[in-house]
Amino acid sequence: MSADLADEAVPFLPRGVRLKEDPARGWLLLGPERALTLDGVAAAVLQEVDGARSFTEITEILAEKYAAPRDQIAKDARGFLVGLMERRLLETKP
């Protein structure tokens, strides 16, 4: 089974997965036995994930913030978030 992320789906970090800002390592995503170091883009995407905004809304916010084309942002963000879903570090509400 392969994960998918629809435009209107609302992504959220499930219990046991959280963001942490570490003084020496920058932004991290912590989960069971996992500590992913996030680059700037990944951290920016996850900071907009609040369990209320849809994927589309998240990409619109990011497009405005970074003055970048929404399509490009959506493509990158989707790839990253689906990767997290496959590792059970992210879930979605329809």
Partner 1 sequence: MTTPIPRPSAMLAELTHRCPLSCPYCSNPLELTKREEELTTEQWADVFQQAAALGVLHVHLSGGEPAARRDLDELTSHAVKAELYTNLITSGVGLTKAKLEDLAARGLDHVQLSIQGPNAEIADKVGGYKGGYNKKMQVAEWIAEEGLPLTVNAVMHRGNLDRLEEAIELAMRLGARRLEVATVQFHGWAVKNRGALMPTREQVERATATVASARERLKGELVIDYVPADYYARFPKPCMGGWGRIGLAITPSGKVMPCHAADSIPHLKFDNVKDRTLADIWAFGDAFTAYRGTEWMAEPCRSCDRREVDFGGCRCQAMAIIGDASATDPACEKSPHHGEMLKLAEDFVAQDDDFTYRPNA
Selected range binding partner 1 among 9-17, 41-49, 57-65, 69-77, rule: CB under 8 A: 9-17
Per-residue burial over 77-93, b = 16 or more CB atoms within 10 Å of its CB, e = otherwise: bbebbbebbeeebbbbe
State the number of binding residues for partner 1 (CB under 8 A): 22
Strand, helix or coil for residue 47: helix
* Least Å from the CB of residue 15 to partner 1: 5
Q: Is 93 in the site for partner 1 (CB under 8 A)?
A: no
Of the candidates 41, 25, 27, the one whose C-alpha atom is nearest the C-alpha of residue 79 is: 41
Q: Is 30 in the site for partner 1 (CB under 8 A)?
A: yes
Mark residues 32-71: x for contact with partner 1 by CB under 8 A, - for none: xx-x------------------------------------
Residue 3 or 61 with smaller CB distance to partner 1: 3
Distance CA 18, CA 29 (A): 6
